[in-house]
Amino acid sequence: MKYLAFLIAVAGGASVVQAQLPAATPVLTPDETLLVVSGEGQSRQVPDLAVFSAGVVTQGKTGGEALAANATRMDEVIKALKRAGIGDRDIQTSALSLQPQYSNPEQEAQLRARMAREPYVAPVQPEAPRIIGYEARNNVQVRVRKLGEMGRIIDTLVSAGANQVDGPSFTLNDPKAALDEARVAAVKDARARGELYARAAGLRISRTISISEGGGYYPVQPIMVTGRMAGAPPPPPPPSPVAPGELTLGATVSVQFALTR
C-alpha cells in the first residue's frame, strides 16, 4: 500500500493538491485543483519460453590442449541440443574464455610438511606462483520453446558433457498483449485512486491532463542446475522436473487529474 501526501497551495485563485510536484505545472482554471496519482497494473501469464545457459569447462597443461578438449566436448553439447529439437536461431555463444591456472607454493609446502609430520616453517623469500595449466570455458545461451521438454533437454546436455548448466529463466516470446493488459489495469487503478482522493476532498474529476508510463517487470525465479564433470557416462536418469509456474508482468503510470467542485 502506498500513501500519498497532500500539498494544498493557493496561487492565482487555483489550488494544487498533489502526491508529488510535477516537472511542469499544467495550466489550471481558477476553480480547478491539480491531483497527481500513480497507478499499478499487472497481468499474470503462463510462460511459453525458457532461457538457460549450458557450458563446458576443461583443463589442460597448455592453452591449446585445454581449448582442443573444450571444442570437442562443446561440439557434442551443441549436437545434443540440435538432436533435442533446438534450432540454430535458439543457440548462441555467450562466453568463451581461457585462463591460466597457478600453483600455490605455500599451500603445497604446508601439505608436504603435514605428510612428513614435520613442522612447517615459512620461507624468508616466498616462492612465486607459477602457471601449471590452463582452464577453458565455453557457454551458449539456449532458448527452449517447448517447455515440456525442458527437463529432458537439461539431462541430455549433462550426459553429452556439459558440466555447467545455469537456469532456466522463464519469459514470454511476445509479451506485448500481456503488457497492454497491465497498462490498461494501471490506468484504471490511477483513475480509481483519483476518484477516491477527489471524494475525500469534496471534489470530482473534471478532466485528465496527462498520463506518463513507468516500467514493466518480470519477477522470475531462475533455477540452478549443475552437471558433473565428465567421466564415465552415467546411466540415463529420469527427466528432471521443471515447473514454469506463472509470470507477473507489470506497468505503472502517473496521471494528472484536474478536480473541480
**Residue 7 or residue 187, greater confidence:** 187
**Mean pLDDT score, 223-249:** 58
CA angle 54, 60, 63 (to 5 degrees): 90
Residue 257 has pLDDT above 60, yes or no: yes
**What cell was used for 126?**
616466498
The strand pair at 14-18 and 33-45 is best described as: parallel
Tens-place pLDDT, residues 49-66: 999 999 999 999 999 999
Contacts of 178 (CB under 8 A, 6+ apart): 43, 45, 172, 247, 249
Round to whole Å and give the CA distance between 188 and 179.
Answer: 14
- Per-residue burial over 216-227, b = 16 or more CB atoms within 10 Å of its CB, e = otherwise: beeebeebebeb
Segment 207-226 shows an average pLDDT of 67
pLDDT at residue number 108: 85
In sequence order, which residues have a C-beta less than 8 Å from that of residue 45 and are 6 or more positions away?
A: 172, 175, 178, 246, 247, 249
Give the least confident one: 15-24, 139-148, 229-238, 250-259.
229-238
What is the C-alpha separation between 208 and 188, in angstroms, rounded? 12
Q: What integer pLDDT is reported at residue 118 of this predicted model? A: 87
pTM of the model: 0.67
CA 24 to chain centre: 35
Percent over 90 (pLDDT), the chain = 60
In 3D, which of 181, 208, 186, 87 has the Cα closest to residue 142?
A: 87
For residues 193 and 146, what is the distance between their CA atoms, to the nearest angstrom? 41
Lowest mean per-residue pLDDT among 26-35, 95-104, 214-223, 230-239: 230-239
pLDDT digits (tens, 9 = 90+) for 111-120: 888 888 888 8
For residue 174, what is its C-alpha cell? 511476445
Is 53 in a helix, a strand, or coil? strand
Q: Which of 3-17, 76-90, 182-196, 213-227 has the lowest mean pLDDT?
A: 3-17
Contact between residue 161 and residue 73 where contact means Cβ atoms under 8 Å apart: yes
pLDDT tier at 80, thresholds 50, 70, 90: very high
Provide the terminal-to-terminal Cα distance of the chain, rounded to the nearest Å.
28
pLDDT (0 to 100) of residue 140: 96
pLDDT of the residue at 23: 54
Question: Picking from 10-19, 44-53, 93-102, 180-189, which range would have the lowest pLDDT averaged per residue?
Answer: 10-19
CA 67 distance to own-chain centroid: 30
Cell of 230: 565428465
Q: Return the higher-pLDDT residue of 89 and 227.
A: 89
